[in-house]
Structure 1
Amino acid sequence: MTTPPTASAGLPLSGVRVVDLTRVLTGPFCTMLLGDLGADVIKVEPPGGDDTRGWGPPFQEGPGEEGRRGRESSYFLSVNRNKRSVVLDLKSEDGLAAARRLIAGSDILVENFRPGTLERLGLGWNALHAEHPRLIYASISGFGQSGPYRDRAGYDVIAQGMGGMMSYNGEVGGPPLRVGVAVADVFSGSLITQAILAALYARERTGQGERVDVNLLESVIALGSSQVGRYLATGEIPVPVGNDHRSIVPYGTVACGDGFVNIAVGNDTLWRRFCAALDLSELGAEARFATNEGRVNSRAELDTLMLRGLARFTRQEVMNRLEVAGVPCGPVYDMAEVFADPHVQARGVAVEVAHPTLGTTTVTAPPWTIGGQTPPVRRAPPTLGQHTAEVLGELD
């Protein structure tokens, strides 16, 4: 298999080719991670492109190369780095034939069509496994490949609701609340990536590809973790507690004079340090607050007393005092503050890359290091069909 010139031979998945038949978020997030690891990800898009190319505003616009003015949605740009874009109409004979040729030379296929759609096109698991036994076939759906809801479309907000997450997220006594980022999509994308990597490892031993399958609903249930475990163990239905922790106090968000700070007072020693650092000696001396159990049982009163005590400090003063005392803490940032933070800047989280029609665009770097190095952003998120001729030419 020919490795494109922009791939890094030192990355773990260098030489691995991925056919990406996904759109929107879960699948593209997965294939972006595979691309970050060095895989050659071929993003196959219909003639109109991935739906998220039109999800805006906001859009980024720029002059691009040779005067070509570009316009891309920030949503699309956020999950499509390190890929090549090919436009194929799978409803046409030529498009389907090109897809078959592409799949024949690839290691992994990732798809998030409704169950049964690719089978009708002759691109289902059984047909492709018979032709290409080493192919790893990864499917993403809303509700899985079987069951009464098999044919339903899957969207993040639906999964968050049906998986119970919205019932325990939000303010005390408030209505169900969706998490502010598409956690069902992102977590499912992370899980299917893990399954793909495991299947690649297994193929080294068996010589056979496997089908791996993730769905949004069960991913959200799994993400519930301790909340789900509490219900299964006790029958107690979790309810929203805001930013507090059900079993640890104080643990969560506290208000100070000019903002908010998150604290994690995970044991009684840290509680005493917390009180000493913030001149809350009276609270520290209260016997009813001396143990975590006592603080949990007196949560409402303690929160009121702490709020009064912290109002005289600025956010930075609280941070400085708690850091000196060794109490885990962190400011509550808006996004501008995130990327202005000297640690985030030192870690190189934001990366500017050349883009063929925008001139440049800024994306996040891969969120890990391998061999002490962060994998590079080798390719900017592609324009629609940017690499069609290039990729199809490699198949000749």
Structure 2
Amino acid sequence: MTFRPASTALNHITVLDLTQVRSGPTAVRQLADWGANVIKIEMPASGDDGGGMGGPRAGSDFQNLHRNKRSLTLNLKTPQGLEVFRKLAATADVVVENFRPAVKHRLGIAYEDLKALNPGIVLASISGFGQDGPYRDRPGFDQIAQGMGGLMSITGLPGQGPVRVGIPIADLCAGIFCAQGVLTALLEREVSGEGQWIQTSLLQAQAFLLDFQAARWLVDGEVPQQAGNNHPTVIPTGVFKTADGHINIACAGQAIWLRLCEALGTTEWNDDPEFADPQARSANRNRLNAIIEDRLKSASSAEWIAVLNEAGVPCGEINSIDEVFENPQIKHLGMAQPVHSTERGDTHLVGQPIIMSRTPSTISEPPPTCGQHTDAILGDLGYSAREIAEMREDSVI
């Protein structure tokens, strides 16, 4: 077997990856990075450009999404291609797909079909809006979910109009939630011996991510609005100008407020009734922010960060992406992991944000070339070299 796991944590789990674009590949990457034997199934005609799999194969996006996986070309629209897939599914642990809901039924690889082959199989499905319901057949896209899921209504400056966030957060989180669902199903299978169908969608992920903003509506009947860089309920928390730039300060609770006043040398603010307690500071947010900024302009960002951290006031610089990966703590945590890519040579990709003491995640393999492991995977299934050659001639692989 040509499988070098990225970790020993999940190296006993085999995953068939039918995903495209971002949410599905994100889910599978989570499993691959923890050692699962991921077989990424691609159409033979897709070639080496990546197509819908995350941009061109040599592109940074594809490279980051598809590491630690093996590639099998397989045409599921042919009877023999489906036969090969069913053989794989009969012994696999997980299938992950993000087709539109009807596609897997049309192909004959819906949960009921897979369960008949393998009662322990876990099918994970990601869609734009859910596997059923009135929006079931709508095409899904991250920014559409950000808007429909409420995020764009609370992002940006007051009165600015809706603003998307700078990453495909609905896609990414749908993928992460899907991976969590897979792991939960695998743990439950240890008790029941049965697999199950787990489902999530971009819209569900985005609604869940509203978190306390959603609770403000569901519990208190309050509709959150845009607050810009200010925290909507914890004040003063936001972006503040200094002599040479900007910093974030997060002042949650009375104790930290008192520390802030002490660190800024403005203990007289404690006696101002407009700032006496959280409710007063909320009512007078604009005045408070203005006088904090006026004080911060007397020194540089680095100087204030040192002073405030020493005083126990949460604060930090506001980095550009290049500065993030030059940050000494990010370097210490190993968030940029080295890899030798077939297309790019020596480079770095974003590592997992979880540290495990015995079974760490690594980037053991770069993204595969299209069909790189086809012969080896089919050989493991028992196909002869001649049968594999015939399938290639017939465009099955």
TM-score by length of 2: 0.91
Q: State whether structure 2 residue 85 is matched by structure 1 residue 88.
A: no
Quick one: distance in 1 between partners of 2:182 and 2:165?
27
Structure 2 counterpart of 1:168, which letter? I
Quick one: distance in 2 between partners of 1:54 and 1:187?
16
Residue matched to 1:59 = none
For the residue of structure 2 that corresponds to 1:380, the secondary structure is coil
Residue matched to 1:34 = 31
Residue matched to 1:55 = 55
For the residue of structure 2 that corresponds to 1:232, the secondary structure is helix
Structure 2 counterpart of 1:7, which letter? P
Deviation at 1:52, TM superposition (A): 4.8
Residue 221 (structure 2) aligned to one of 227, 235, 244? 235
Residue matched to 1:370 = 356
Runs of 4+ in 1 over 6 A off after TM superposition: none
Between stretches 90-99 and 296-305, larger displacement belongs to 90-99
Q: State whether structure 2 residue 111 is matched by structure 1 residue 125.
A: yes
Residue matched to 1:257 = 243
Deviation at 1:211, TM superposition (A): 0.5
Deviation at 1:295, TM superposition (A): 0.6
Structure 2 counterparts to residues 182-197 of structure 1, below 5 A: 182-197=168-183
Contact 2:231 2:237 in 1 (8 A): yes
RMSD (Å) for aligned C-alpha atoms: 1.8
Deviation at 1:53, TM superposition (A): 5.3
Quick one: distance in 2 between partners of 1:193 and 1:5?
21
Quick one: distance in 1 between partners of 2:83 and 2:293?
66
Quick one: distance in 1 between partners of 2:315 and 2:250?
6
Between stretches 351-360 and 183-192, larger displacement belongs to 351-360
Residue 298 (structure 1) aligned to one of 277, 284, 307? 284
Residue matched to 1:65 = none
Residue matched to 1:136 = 122
Q: Closer, same or farther in 2 for the Cα pair 1:54/1:372, shift >3 Å?
A: closer
Quick one: distance in 2 between partners of 1:255 and 1:87?
54
Contact 1:366 1:374 in 2 (8 A): no
Structure 2 counterparts to residues 42-191 of structure 1, below 5 A: 42-46=39-43, 47-48=45-46, 50-52=50-52, 55=55, 72-191=58-177
Q: Closer, same or farther in 2 for the Cα pair 1:236/1:38, shift >3 Å?
A: same
For the residue of structure 2 that corresponds to 1:72, the secondary structure is coil
Contact 1:248 1:266 in 2 (8 A): yes
Deviation at 1:208, TM superposition (A): 0.8
Contact 1:249 1:265 in 2 (8 A): yes
Structure 2 counterparts to residues 349-388 of structure 1, below 5 A: 349-371=335-357, 374-388=360-374
User: Could you list the per-position Cα deviations for residues 280-300 of structure 1 after superposition, in whole angstroms to 9, with x for gaps in the alignment?
Assistant: 344344232121111111001
Structure 2 counterparts to residues 215-234 of structure 1, below 5 A: 215-234=201-220
Which residues of structure 2 form unaligned runs of 5+?
Answer: 383-397
Structure 1 counterpart of 2:239, which letter? T
User: Could you list the per-position Cα deviations for residues 184-231 of structure 1 after superposition, in whole angstroms to 9, with x for gaps in the alignment?
Assistant: 011111111111111101111111110100011111111111111111
Residue matched to 2:329 = 343
Deviation at 1:54, TM superposition (A): 6.5
Contact 1:276 1:284 in 2 (8 A): no
Count of aligned pairs between the two proteins: 379
For the residue of structure 1 that corresponds to 2:367, the secondary structure is coil
Quick one: distance in 2 between partners of 1:54 and 1:180?
17
Which residues of structure 1 form unaligned runs of 5+?
Answer: 57-70
